[in-house]
């Protein structure tokens, strides 16, 4: 081979490398605070596969705080962030600002997701988001402590309260003065809407507003559920629970200072990783019921990725959404973060089940889950939820009597629901 041929070959390789570099591009992505590291890992995998980069921007720790950020961004038709991380309850709120990607996603990819979860991202015939993972409220418990005191996992909330009280008293007597029976989320924010709707629905009290628009919250079963939870505060739950979100309550549980803990599936990963004090000591199950004959009513909360309608790179942004919600990244998220996949095939994946042996047990939780009334309320959902969780918080603190508070809340919701 001549020097001239070698020189030409080298020139061609340099030209191809330059062309590849020129074609590489960057999209900007919002991702949740709790799974930020997994998003960064997905971005690294995408870069390795495509050469393109995804700049991951961490959202506020409390998802509520992201809503005004999104509203400002989208009202200005800003292209600054290409891909948005979306709670299922936001899809109706932001549907007019999200790109329809139905024709950009192969049918086989769509069919891989659970139909109900994919369907929530299809509004008015437009596919505005793809599911990243499925969430449902679950109960975590110290299986070592239940075994120590000869207990079986509780089936009802009253059984849980009785067990929590006994464990708390005995563990404190044994020297753990910081032990509490139950930690959950009672701060005045969206998380309280989830926790409260679980308690109320599992007690036969409905889900605030029915699918046909009827306000159902003012009823004796709902009142009984809230009174029950109010009685936990200062007895089996610390007073501080009134300011606990997911992370604050998780910190108490993972420090070994709570027998029971309500949260989302990711807590399995955080509690069982890194050689922490709870490795091998945690069990998980669907939430208890308030009354016999009722269903465990964990709040359903899938998370999605969608493309900002005003993105300057809609094609590339769509490619990233397909990648981060695809089977490889959902498997990575399941194995490393204990997030329930929305892709049904992963529920029989041996590697996933080896890492998440509980996964098969969470399917009943999805079947019996309770949904927030975002379907009927649409763009009014945020105002409806704020009215609900603020009212419930006032009832839990004692600032408002429960029955009077529910009656007042129902009247307010009648007005808010129709402003959608």
pLDDT averaged per 10 residues in sequence order, the chain, 420 residues? 37 37 83 95 98 97 89 97 95 93 97 87 92 93 98 98 98 98 97 97 96 93 98 98 98 98 92 89 95 92 96 98 98 91 91 85 77 84 95 98 98 84
pLDDT at 17: 37
Structure-token pair, residue 206 = 């409905």
C-alpha 138/C-alpha 156 separation (Å) is: 14
**Is the CB of residue 382 less than 8 Å from the CB of residue 67?**
yes
Evaluate the CA torsion angle 150, 153, 156, 158 in order and state its sign. Answer: positive
pLDDT at 300: 87
C-alpha 77/C-alpha 73 separation (Å) is: 6
DSSP letter assigned to residue 301 = -
pLDDT at 64: 79
pLDDT at 376: 79
The candidate with the shortest Cα–Cα distance to 133, out of 31, 278, 26, is 31
pLDDT at 420: 59
4 burial level (CB within 10 Å; 0-12, 13-18, 19+): exposed
C-alpha 120/C-alpha 134 separation (Å) is: 12
Q: Alpha helix locations (H) across 152-245?
A: 157-173, 190-201, 220-232
pLDDT at 140: 97
Q: Which residues of 353-364 are buried (b: 16+ CB within 10 A; e: fewer)?
A: eebbebbeebee
Residue 23 CB neighbours (<10 A): 10
Residue 21 CB neighbours (<10 A): 9
CA 2 to chain CA centroid, nearest Å: 63
pLDDT at 419: 66
- Between the CA of residue 28 and those of 106, 200, 281, 296, what are the distances in Å? 23, 40, 39, 39
CA 332 to chain CA centroid, nearest Å: 17
pLDDT at 5: 36
């Amino acid at each position: 081979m001549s020097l001239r041929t070698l020189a030409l070959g080298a020139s061609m390789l340099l030209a191809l490398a330059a062309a590849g570099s020129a074609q590489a591009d960057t999209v900007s992505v919002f991702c949740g605070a709790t799974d930020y590291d997994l998003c960064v890992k997905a971005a690294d995998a995408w870069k390795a596969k495509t050469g393109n980069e995804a700049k991951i921007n961490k959202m506020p720790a409390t998802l509520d705080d992201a809503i005004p950020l999104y509203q400002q961004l989208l009202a200005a038709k800003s292209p600054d962030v290409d891909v948005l991380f979306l709670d299922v309850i936001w899809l109706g709120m932001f549907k007019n600002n999200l790109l329809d990607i139905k024709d950009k996603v192969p049918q086989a990819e769509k069919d891989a997701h659970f139909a109900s979860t994919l369907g929530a991202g299809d509004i008015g015939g437009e596919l505005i988001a793809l599911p990243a993972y499925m969430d449902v409220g679950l109960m975590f418990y110290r299986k070592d402590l239940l075994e120590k005191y000869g207990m079986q996992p509780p089936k009802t909330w009253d059984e849980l309260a009785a067990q929590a009280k006994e464990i708390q008293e005995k563990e404190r007597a044994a020297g753990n003065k910081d032990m509490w029976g139950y930690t959950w989320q009672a701060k005045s924010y969206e998380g309280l809407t989830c926790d409260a709707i679980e308690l109320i629905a599992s007690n036969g009290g409905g889900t605030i507003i029915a699918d046909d628009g009827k306000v159902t919250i003012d009823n004796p079963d709902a009142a009984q559920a809230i009174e029950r939870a109010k009685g936990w505060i200062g007895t089996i739950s610390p007073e501080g629970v009134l300011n606990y979100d997911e992370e604050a309550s998780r910190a108490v549980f993972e420090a070994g200072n709570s027998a029971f803990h309500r949260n989302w599936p990711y807590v399995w990963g955080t509690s069982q990783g890194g050689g922490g004090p709870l490795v091998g000591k945690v069990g998980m199950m669907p939430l208890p019921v308030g009354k016999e004959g009722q269903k465990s009513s964990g709040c359903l909360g899938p998370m999605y990725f969608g493309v900002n309608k005003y993105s300057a790179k809609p094609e590339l942004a769509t490619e990233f959404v397909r990648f981060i919600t695809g089977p490889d990244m959902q498997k990575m998220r399941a194995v490393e973060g204990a997030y329930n996949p929305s892709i049904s095939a992963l529920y029989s994946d041996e590697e996933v089940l080896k890492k998440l042996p509980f996964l098969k047990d969470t399917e009943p939780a999805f079947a019996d889950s309770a949904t927030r009334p975002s379907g009927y309320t649409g763009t009014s959902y945020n105002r409806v939820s704020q009215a609900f969780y603020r009212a419930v918080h006032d009832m839990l603190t004692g600032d408002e009597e429960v029955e009077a508070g529910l009656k007042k809340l129902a009247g307010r919701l009648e007005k808010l629901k129709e402003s959608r």
